[in-house]
Each structure stands twice: as structure tokens, then as C-alpha cells.
Amino acid sequence: MRMIVGTGEHRLNTVRQMTSPHADVRPDAGDISLLVIHAIALPPDAFGGPWIDDLFMGRLNCDMHPYFTTLRGVRVSAHACIFRDGSITQYVPFDRRAWHAGVSSFEGRSDCNDFSIGIELEGGDEWPFTDAQYTALGRVGDALLRAYPRLSNERIVGHADIAPGRKTDPGPHFDWPRGLAEIAFPR
């Protein structure tokens, strides 16, 4: 079954859904024109467990791991996360502003959260991403590019591209040619 974005609810049709409280109204819901690829692992370099869901849902117990104390009070989300096994969870409808980019700019325009979609990949700077993740990213990317005409192959970037010096993700092990080839959508 082809993955699609439902036009009324702005959600992917074939993925697990959760509703993050860390989102708000976009200044212009028609201005979805950038796709940002991120990487996340909680704690760093560890995969699996409930921690990513907990962080994005605002319920991370910061006493469960020493690293989590650095996240105390952090309010962050992504539109969706693709886990190591290729499974996908959507946290924020695409017509809403997820809090994924932080201080950022693209082509001279600041506040990328206003006009972007943020997709997390479970991973980090020290680990290659899985075949299942690239396949899932291709399916998600295809659905997004079909649903939002202002997105294009040229407007797919990494978090490091919009927050240089502050962020490194998706990191050196993200295979950009492969990722873009999976997502590529003929216009």
C-alpha cells in the first residue's frame, strides 16, 4: 500500500500515530516548503526503548539516565521518527509546527520550524542508518512531496545545514545520495 498524507488531517495513513503537546499553529499552513532530516538516539548511541516517544510526548523521566538530566525542561518534537527497524511514528500533523529545528535558517530565512517538516531517524553520528530506514524515508518523502507542492528534491536538507556549528545531524554516516535517491520524486 502506498503511503499517503490524508488531506484533512495531514497525517500519514499507514503509521503509528501519537499527538505531541510540543507543537503549535504555523504562521502559514500553506507554506510547507522544506524537509529537514535529523538523527536522534536516547541516550546517545543507544537504540530502542521508549525514550524518543517519551521526549516528544513531554513525559521523559529525566532521572532514568544521567544524560537525560541535560534534557530537563526541554520541549521538542518532530513530525515523525523512523526507527532502526523501519517503523514510523508520527507525532505532529504536517500542517502544524513541530519544534524540531531550533535556531535555524535556510536561504536567508530564519525560524525554519515555521515552514519545514522535521523527520527524525533513530541514529547518531557514530552509526550507519539501516536499509529499513532508507526504505521508510523514501516512502515518507514520496508521500510528503506528493502532498505538499512547495517541497522539492532541492529543498531536502539536514539539521546541520540549517543550524551549522550547532548541530551535526543526520551525521557523517547518512548516505545523502542514497537518501535522496530513495526520496526523489519526479516533477
Of 158, 133, 127, 118, give the one whose Cα is nearest residue 46: 127
Cα–Cα distance, 17 to 30 (Å, whole number): 22
Please indicate whether residue 120 is annotated as part of the active site: yes
Helix (H) or strand (E) holding 116: strand 116-122
The CA R_g of the chain, rounded to the nearest whole Å, is 15
Cα–Cα distance, 81 to 121 (Å, whole number): 6
Residue 178 and residue 131 in contact, taking contact as beta carbons nearer than 8 Å? no
Cα–Cα distance, 87 to 83 (Å, whole number): 5
Which of 9, 107, 120, 182 is flagged as catalytic? 120
Helix (H) or strand (E) holding 110: strand 109-110
Cα–Cα distance, 171 to 28 (Å, whole number): 30
Taking residue 50's Cβ as centre, other Cβ atoms within 10 Å add up to 13
Q: Which residues are catalytic?
A: 120
